């Protein structure tokens, strides 16, 4: 019997929290060169400019895999995040133009985050229909 997916909600549900990195589950791998570049930039700046985006029930990273790994490499145990109701229609899912995988569903993202069967880097592209503000956070506050 096919499992029904939850219907999209019309009321946006987004909240800001500083999360323990250990609670998070990635759904795609990172590019080593991009990770090194971002790690160097955050080290130089001393802060993280933008929170990551996380599915609120499953703690799957939707946007920010490289930021998570960069701050982890810099000794952080926590990271600022927007938690979003992933079933909400404010979350749009597509793929990057050069992605190896051309079709991805929200169910695929959650399943891969739960199982550790990661997509290649830069596969899924999550966008929101609402604007989230940057919230610069000092790296020292994340250790």
Active-site entry in 28, 69, 107, 133: 28
The dihedral through the CA atoms of 79, 83, 87, 92 has a sign that is negative
Which of 98, 22, 25 has its CA nearest to residue 56?
25
Between the CA atoms of 138, 116, 128 and 5, what dihedral angle is there, to the nearest 10 degrees?
A: -140
Active site residue 28: yes
**d(Cα 46, Cα 116) in Å, to the nearest integer?**
30
Cite the active site residues.
28
């Amino acid at each position: 019997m096919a499992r029904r997916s939850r219907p999209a909600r019309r009321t946006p549900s987004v909240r800001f929290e500083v999360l323990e990195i250990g609670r998070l589950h990635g759904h795609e791998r990172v590019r080593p060169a991009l990770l090194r570049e971002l790690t160097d930039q955050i080290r130089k700046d001393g802060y993280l400019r933008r929170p990551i985006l996380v599915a609120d029930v499953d703690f799957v990273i939707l946007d920010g895999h490289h930021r998570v790994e960069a701050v982890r490499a810099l000794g952080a145990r926590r990271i600022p995040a927007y938690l979003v109701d992933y079933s909400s229609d404010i979350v749009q899912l597509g793929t990057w133009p050069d992605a190896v995988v051309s079709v991805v569903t929200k169910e695929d993202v959650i399943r891969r985050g739960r199982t550790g069967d990661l997509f290649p880097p830069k596969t899924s592209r999550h966008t929101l229909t609402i604007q989230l503000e940057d919230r610069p956070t000092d790296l020292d506050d994340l250790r």
